[in-house]
Amino acid sequence: MKPLLPRIAALLFSALAAGAALADYPDRVVTVVNTWAPGGPSDAIIRPIIDKFTTKFGQTFILENRSGANGAIGAASVARAKADGYTLLFANVGPIAISPSLPDKPPYDSLKDFQPIGQIVSASGVLVVGENFPANNLKEFIEYARKNPDKISYGSVGIGSSTHIAGATLAKQAGVKMVHVPYRGSAQIQTDIIGGQIQAAFVNLGGALPLIQAHKLKAIAVSTEKRSAILPDVPAVAESYPGFDFNFWYGLMAPANTPPAVINKLHAALVEALAAPDVKKLMLDAGLDVAPSTPAEFGKKVKDDMALWHRAVANTNLQ
């Protein structure tokens, strides 16, 4: 019996030490990985959140951009990270809900390798063109595409991304031919539309709104089933092509097996940040719907959306 006592004492000490470490979380810098290139609309969504986290916890939360492969590179890095709460994923629909249905499977399982913390926002996409493009509405856009097959190049944030699938689905439903041009982030897409290198793209409404308001981009149609309250005069694609409905979301995740106490702390901080008047106003002014959820609710949404996007990918010839 005597040799057993030191082992029991060691186990109790380890348990107490682990509990103390969780109570002190975070006690050093936390890295939040954004799967898109710097300077895009996704940065504008997550930065106010991590600023609130830094203030609340008294520890620095930094944003690290790891783009490429429709977000799979950044997501994979978090899936491989230590499950201690010090590496988090600024998750979005592309690498989490869409990539698993693509021919080139990502090196992670979206349901098994990540622990949801909570959804942050949902957003409409908007089809935009340059100010000199010879179309001011969806009807004129499709007519131009029909008369000029393969003359419209449309950008996306990567092969198999939500913006790619939205563009390919519109082309299929309208019976037109357009050329897909993949990018690593939406900021460069919008720059190239303004510069004339490409002609169109579905982009995040919140990120494009300032350029639309400045008349540098023209909003042709929104990607959600109903019109956006922030652009009520811009029709939904679904008004011309029923069933067209693409909603983009962002949320926060951690590697699987991150301690529940850490997840609960982060979830509470996320809900608090999203309820802050300055953050809420920033999101609403950008055309984003604040959508806080519990970890379980967010996990269910991911699972449901994976099925939805699987059908969308199967019905679209992506290239």
- Residue 287 to residue 165: CA distance in whole angstroms: 21
Which amino acid type is present at position 78?
Answer: V
pLDDT tens column, 59-106 = 999 999 999 888 999 999 999 999 999 999 999 999 999 999 998 899
Q: Give 159 or 271, the one with higher predicted confidence.
A: 271
What pLDDT is attached to residue 4?
61
Which residue segments constitute the domains of the chain, with CATH numbers given? Answer: 27-122+247-314 (3.40.190.150), 124-239 (3.40.190.10)
Task: Give the alpha-carbon dihedral of 278, 279, 280, 286, to 10 degrees.
Answer: 110
Taking the alpha carbons at both ends of the chain, their separation in whole angstroms is: 68
pLDDT tens column, 29-60 = 999 999 988 888 889 899 999 999 999 999 99
pTM of structure: 0.79
Q: Which two tokens stand for residue 1?
A: 């019996």
What pLDDT is attached to residue 8?
58
- Nearest Cα neighbor of 167 from 200, 216, 198, 141 is 200
Report whether pLDDT(13) > 70: no
